[in-house]
Structure 1
Amino acid sequence: MRFRIPLVALFAGALLAMEASAQGLSARPIRLVVPYAPGGNVDISARIVGPGLSELTKQTVIVENRPGGGGNVGAALVAKATPDGHTLLVGSSGPLSVNPVVFKDIPYDSVKDFAPVSLVQIVPLVVLVSPKFEVGSVKELVARAKAAPGKITMASAGSGTTNHFAIELLSALTGAKFLHVPYKGSGPALGELLGGQVNTMVDQLTSSMGFIKDGKLRVIAVTAAKRVSALPTVPTLAESGVPNYEASTYLGLLAPAGTPREVIGKLNAALRKVVETPAVQERFRGLGADPGASTPEEFARMIREELVKWRALAKSANLQFN
């Protein structure tokens, strides 16, 4: 009798382990890989959904920043990771729909190498001006850039990011030439903009909203097709004299290709509940984002559609980066 309890416990433990394995679970943490430096939109969003995802999956969730290459470094890391649901990419338009279009060689295929889990949000971009740079409108900015080609600096979260693409598109549509200054994420770029080391910046509204609300940075335009509810008095670029300009970014979670369907389903169910939580929705909307979960199939379709859109824009504007 004295051996029955340990044997039963061992047997029960084995059954639990088998069940956990079948569901794609283990004691290891879930890593949310952010392919940018801390402080930007992707990083902030990962840290908003992380706690809820941890609670629902009963797994420890760790946010891991892997900046570099306009998001390519972090994306490649996840593409090559073991497909077990424990390494996820906090993916956005840059590495998924822009970089494959404008970079000649990237170390992953954004369609074939990932298994989308769910969309998290869509975020407009904004044109920001340093407090030390006296420009009050897009028309004035364009006029000054045309008068001094390549002299006005415009920061982005990195070469090849959606922010960078938005800058190049602005140049192509207006004929104004800016000096692009890439950083490893929005956080470092915003710090330099606040200090006046760069004149202007195109950034996701999510990461810059706090500085805008505090009056530390001025926003002269939004890149969306319509004005955003969080900044109702700020005109769109189209309203500011740049017709047909529209750009925004999406953000969601993706696993490596080959991740079991049941694992994707479990993660999708948990993430949808997190994104639909009133507190999370309020937090995202307060930052200027439009929260919204999706099915894996819907997110995959969005990535493909955005690839087509940005490829057409890149071709018309003759954009390609090394």
Structure 2
Amino acid sequence: MRPPRRSTLLAALSALALALPLVAEAQAWPAKPVKIIVPLAAGSAVDNAARIVAEKLSQDLGQSFVIENQAGAAGLIGAGNVAKAAPDGYTFGGFNDSIMTMVPHLQARMPWDILKDFEPVSLVATVEWGLVVNAEAPQRTAADLIATAKQAPGKVNYGSGGNGSPQHIAMALFASQSGVQMTHVPYKGATQAAMGVAGNEVQAAFQGIATVNSLVKAGKLRLVGVTTARRMPQFPEVPTVSESGLAGFEFNSWFTLMAPAGTPRPIVQALAAAVQKALADPGVKEKLYAQGLTPRGSSPEELAAATRAQLARYGALIKQNGITAE
């Protein structure tokens, strides 16, 4: 075997010299409190999940993980502040997939690029969704709602958290797959839309379970279907939308952690591993399940692939249904 050339040795030594500070930085990380910007309101499903996981990360890693809510402009402002933050491992974003894969198709001009301006860290949990009607409504299943909508095209109103919101996208997907026409009534937020169904202002809505759980328990809303592949253990009597009227229908929201582009890879991987450990904790699992969330966990590479696929999927759906943010 021939000895390596001097140039090859120099290149290898240079690469090692560059890598060693990153490794040392990752080993020392975190050396101070870490901020997680959530571009959504406090009390939202993603915010609740972020606080549950952040508490465990703080315990495990010995530094505070602080949640900072920066709601507004469909998440554009908060996400933009993550993109502009120093890529030093002390600012991350707690995003849902609406911010990541729906909003980019609804804005004429985007201030950031989800694929270029961020480093995926981990899919943390999914927010499971359900189809709700007023507690006094005659519908008991998704099939009943489809039948009602087919009998009176355009007469069934549904509420959402606004044009282009996940609630809007979910019902557009439902209507497209079932071949029904319903009228969209946008509210100023998901909670307001849920209250609209409870007050009989609109007849139905898709909502995150965490958003409507208390209204269902209080007898103001009826959960007629869940959008998971199988029935949820929390609601064993509630059929899936797939089994009760629309085969193959599934919908959920993500809670992910994203970093500014350029964040050192060892730190990204260290946080992803810490998230996996946190999600394995029985107490964390119990708290997430109680909120209507399913613990997930992923590698940065898996989240990157899922983001690209979801971006394409929602792009096609939004274009097909002519959905806009106006």
Aligned to 1:180: 185
Q: Choose which of 80, 84, 87 in structure 2 pairs with 1:76.
A: 80
Give the distance between the partners of 1:86 and 1:200, measured in 2 at CA: 42
Q: How does 1:35-54 map to 2 (within 5 A)?
A: 35-54=39-58
DSSP 3-state at the match of 2:130: strand
Q: Choose which of 90, 93, 98 in structure 1 pairs with 2:97.
A: 93
Give the distance between the partners of 2:162 and 2:71, measured in 1 at CA: 9
Q: How does 1:199-238 map to 2 (within 5 A)?
A: 199-238=203-242
Shift of 1:103: 3.6
Q: Could you tell me which amino acid in structure 2 is paired with residue 94 of structure 1? A: S
Aligned to 1:270: 274
Q: How does 1:1-322 map to 2 (within 5 A)?
A: 23-27=28-32, 29-131=33-135, 135-142=139-146, 144-145=148-149, 152-173=156-177, 174-184=179-189, 186-196=190-200, 198-322=202-326
Contact conserved, 1:89 with 1:254, CA < 8 A, in 2? yes
Give the distance between the partners of 1:273 and 1:170, measured in 2 at CA: 36
Shift of 1:280: 0.7
DSSP 3-state at the match of 1:279: helix
Shift of 1:139: 4.2
Return the TM-score normalized by structure 2. Answer: 0.80
Contact conserved, 2:146 with 2:245, CA < 8 A, in 1? no
Shift of 1:298: 1.3
Give the distance between the partners of 1:22 and 1:225, measured in 2 at CA: 40
DSSP 3-state at the match of 1:167: helix
Shift of 1:48: 0.9
Contact conserved, 1:112 with 1:257, CA < 8 A, in 2? yes
Give the distance between the partners of 2:39 and 2:282, measured in 1 at CA: 27
Give the distance between the partners of 1:312 and 1:288, measured in 2 at CA: 28
Shift of 1:219: 0.7
Q: Could you tell me which amino acid in structure 2 is paired with residue 96 of structure 1? A: M
- When residues 59 and 237 of structure 1 are mapped into structure 2, their CA distance, relative to the original with a 3 A threshold, is same
Number of aligned positions between the proteins: 302
Q: Could you tell me which amino acid in structure 1 is paired with residue 182 of structure 2? A: K
Q: Could you tell me which amino acid in structure 1 is paired with residue 98 of structure 2? A: G
Structure 1, unaligned runs of 5 or more: 1-18
Shift of 1:257: 0.9
Contact conserved, 1:32 with 1:63, CA < 8 A, in 2? yes
Shift of 1:198: 4.7
Give the distance between the partners of 2:322 and 2:152, measured in 1 at CA: 22
Deviations 1:162-211 (A, max 9, x none): 32211222233332222232434x44544554455554321112333344
Shift of 1:24: 4.9
Deviations 1:32-56 (A, max 9, x none): 2222222221111011111111122
Structure 2, unaligned runs of 5 or more: 1-23
Return the TM-score normalized by structure 1. Answer: 0.81
Contact conserved, 1:123 with 1:288, CA < 8 A, in 2? yes
